[in-house]
Amino acid sequence: DTGVSQDPRHKITKRGQNVTFRCDPISEHNRLYWYRQTLGQGPEFLTYFQNEAQLEKSRLLSDRFSAERPKGSFSTLEIQRTEQGDSAMYLCASSFNKQYNEQFFGPGTRLTVL
């Protein structure tokens, strides 16, 4: 399967713990996006990378959140000191940098903070 993959698919953690999610984009895609989605809402943008450079971060991305894409391939999203409000689906998408921006989404990582 050459689509976007995310790992893990589900994560249950206790409040205050740190969690890290991984996203593997489609191999030739140089843009990678992270979104968060809560129940009944559309996805909300968190951050995006072009190659290894993090070009934009949403104000939703508090200082407890950090994302990296060290070699311009896979990316990680870490949440430190998780809170119950962090419970959501975390979606990763990738695209090829062109004038129109078809984004390919992964299946998401569902985070539950107890």
Partner 1 sequence: DAKTTQPNSMESNEEEPVHLPCNHSTISGTDYIHWYRQLPSQGPEYVIHGLTSNVNNRMASLAIAEDRKSSTLILHRATLRDAAVYYCILDNYGQNFVFGPGTRLSVLP
State the residues that interact with partner 1 by CB under 8 A.
4, 31, 33, 35, 40-45, 48, 56, 58, 91, 93, 95, 97-108
To partner 1, the closest distance from the beta carbon of 71 in angstroms equals: 21
Pairing, β 53-57 against β 65-68: unpaired
Of the pair 4, 67, the CB lying nearest partner 1 is at 4
Type of residue at 37: Q
Cα–Cα distance, 26 to 16 (Å, whole number): 33
Angle made by CA atoms 12, 71, 64, in degrees to the nearest 5: 40
Other beta carbons within 10 Å of 68: 14
Cβ count near 106 (within 10 Å): 20
Q: Give 4 or 113: the residue with its C-beta nearer to partner 1.
A: 4
> Nearer to partner 1 by C-beta: 82 or 94?
94
CB 11 to partner 1: min, Å: 16
Least distance (Å) between residue 56 CB and partner 1: 6
Residue number with CB closer to partner 1 (72 or 80): 72
